[in-house]
Amino acid sequence: MSNDKNNLLESWMLQRLKQVEAALAHREWLVDGQFSAADILMTDVLWIPMVMAAGSFPTT
């Protein structure tokens, strides 16, 4: 992650990760209480190095 606090992409990404983290805090799957394509698609996103460097998001 960059040290630039004005990096709009980082800011946007961290907001999205926080939203996913909050959604998964109370359920196991993203959509309708069951495994779906949404869960599969998120795995690709979470492998991006910038996302991995974002910090601790234990439920995502």
User: Would you say residue 2 lies in a domain?
Assistant: no
**Residue 48 lies in domain:** 8-52
- 60 domain-assigned: no
34 pLDDT higher than 90? yes
Assigned domain for 21 exists: yes
Q: Does residue 59 lie in a domain region? A: no
Per the domain annotation, does 30 fall within a domain? yes
Q: Which residues contact 60 (CB under 8 A, 6 or more apart)?
A: 17, 20, 21, 24, 42, 46
Q: Are 30 and 42 in contact (CB under 8 A)?
A: yes
Q: State the total domains in the chain.
A: 1
Contact between 52 and 45 under an 8 Å Cβ cutoff? The reply is no
At residue 31, φ and ψ (nearest 5 deg) are: -125, 130
Identify the pLDDT of residue 6: 64
Residue 46 counted as domain residue: yes
pLDDT at residue 35 in the model: 96
CB-based contact 16:50 (threshold 8 Å): no
Residue pair 39/29 in contact by the 8 Å Cβ criterion: yes
pLDDT at 36 over 90: yes
Give this prediction's pTM.
0.58
